[in-house]
């Protein structure tokens, strides 16, 4: 995905979310703040289409905002429907007060706006030289992630595609296709098709951990545990980075004749729903 394709996708997402907000019957302060901030993003990025190039710092901001907008739209789906269905299955991941999640989304979006405005103003027309691009890794807290990105990719690369990341990762740790799919769904939660240094940094988490050890810890977890063959039984879709932590709760659900499907990422839930239409219906 080239920078202007990313720009176009994020611009379309702002239009989509603004439409959602305009059509909501609830217009509380949080919704109004969201509308104002997304409209601001819309107005900031619209002129960027006329530029000859987009610097990596701007592209990184766009990717982060794109993920935020996807999250916001999912929360809006839950807020609008008020129930779990195939299109709002992620409701089970969040507290019933979805508005509080939207407020958190808005707070994060405000931070993104500040970074985007800074990136746009400091590098208005020209692409940075490699030396200027070194700053892209300054905000990455984990040293092993910084080293990996600097060694395998260029310092000025704001993102890499799935194929590029797969090749680069093999120099660090070879994963089976199944385990790599699991890793990718963890990294690309909202289907942007790329991974960034910040995404990897968030994935590793603890600064004392190494990227290599974290990647090696990825193991594809069995997608489904069926509690009953009864087609009419209830279904629970459960997301947890470490499904093994939920053994007691899962056992209890199975005893209650509830089918339990466990996943290690929300992206895996979406992928599963696409392959099993109707399973997430309420």
Instruction: Say if residue 87 is in the same domain as residue 36.
Output: yes
Instruction: Say if residue 171 is in the same domain as residue 234.
Output: no
Query: Within a domain: residue 185?
Result: yes
Distance between alpha carbon 189 and the CA centroid of its chain, in Å? 4
Instruction: Say if residue 113 is in the same domain as residue 24.
Output: yes
Q: Which pLDDT belongs to residue 80?
A: 63
Q: Which pLDDT belongs to residue 43?
A: 93
Structure token digits, residue 132: 């200027």
| Count of domains observed in the chain | 3
Q: Which pLDDT belongs to residue 238?
A: 79
| Tokens 């920078």 sit on residue | 3
Query: Can you tell me the mean pLDDT for 43-66?
Result: 87
Model confidence at 139: pLDDT above 50: yes
Q: Which of 55-59, 73-77, 80-84, 102-106 has the lowest mean pLDDT?
A: 80-84
Model confidence at 244: pLDDT above 90: no
Instruction: Say if residue 169 is in the same domain as residue 258.
Output: no
- pLDDT category at 87 given cuts 50, 70, 90 is very low
CA–CA distance, 222 with 219 (Å, rounded to integer): 9
Query: Within a domain: residue 168?
Result: yes
Query: Can you tell me the mean pLDDT for 21-29?
Result: 78
Instruction: Say if residue 92 is in the same domain as residue 148.
Output: no
Q: What is the largest CA-CA distance in the chain?
A: 62
Neighbours of 58 (CB within 10 A): 27
Pairing of β 160-161 and β 258-263:
unpaired
Distance, first Cα to last Cα, the chain:
36
Query: Within a domain: residue 236?
Result: yes
Instruction: Say if residue 96 is in the same domain as residue 35.
Output: yes
Query: Within a domain: residue 258?
Result: yes
Query: Within a domain: residue 274?
Result: no
Rg (CA), the chain: 20
Check if the beta carbon of residue 64 is closer than 8 Å to that of residue 114: no
Instruction: Say if residue 193 is in the same domain as residue 228.
Output: no
Q: Which pLDDT belongs to residue 246?
A: 79
Query: Within a domain: residue 14?
Result: yes
Instruction: Say if residue 47 is in the same domain as residue 103.
Output: yes
In terms of residue numbers, what domain contains 23? 3-122
Instruction: Say if residue 228 is in the same domain as residue 202.
Output: no
Instruction: Say if residue 72 is in the same domain as residue 42.
Output: yes
Pairing of β 258-263 and β 234-239:
parallel
CA–CA distance, 71 with 190 (Å, rounded to integer): 8
CA–CA distance, 30 with 23 (Å, rounded to integer): 15
Q: Whole-number mean pLDDT of the chain?
A: 76
Query: Within a domain: residue 53?
Result: yes
Instruction: Say if residue 208 is in the same domain as residue 248.
Output: no
Query: Within a domain: residue 204?
Result: yes
């Amino acid at each position: 995905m080239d920078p202007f394709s990313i720009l176009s996708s994020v611009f379309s997402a702002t239009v989509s979310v603004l439409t959602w907000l305009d059509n909501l019957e609830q217009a509380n302060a949080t919704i109004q703040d969201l509308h104002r901030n997304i409209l601001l993003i819309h107005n900031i990025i619209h002129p960027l289409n006329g530029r000859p190039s987009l610097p990596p710092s701007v592209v990184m901001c766009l990717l982060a905002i794109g993920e935020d907008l996807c999250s916001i739209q999912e929360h809006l789906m839950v807020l609008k429907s008020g129930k779990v269905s195939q299109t709002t299955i992620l409701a089970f991941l969040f507290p019933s007060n979805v508005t509080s999640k939207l407020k958190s989304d808005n707070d994060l979006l405000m931070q993104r706006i500040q970074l985007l405005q800074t990136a746009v103003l400091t590098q208005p027309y020209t692409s940075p030289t490699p030396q200027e691009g070194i700053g892209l890794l300054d905000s990455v807290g984990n040293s092993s992630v910084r080293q990996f990105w600097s060694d395998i990719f260029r310092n000025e690369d704001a993102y890499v595609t799935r194929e590029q990341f797969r090749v680069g990762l093999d120099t660090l740790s070879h994963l089976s296709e199944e385990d790599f799919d699991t890793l990718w769904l963890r990294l690309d939660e909202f289907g942007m098709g790329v991974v960034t240094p910040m995404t990897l940094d968030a994935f590793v988490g603890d600064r004392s951990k190494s990227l290599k050890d974290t990647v090696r810890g990825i193991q594809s977890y069995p997608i489904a545990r069926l509690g009953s063959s009864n087609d009419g039984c209830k279904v629970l879709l459960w997301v947890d980075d470490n499904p093994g932590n939920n053994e007691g709760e899962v056992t209890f659900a199975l005893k209650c004749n509830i089918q339990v499907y466990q996943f290690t990422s929300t992206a895996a839930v979406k992928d599963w729903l696409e392959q099993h239409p109707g399973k997430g219906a309420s």
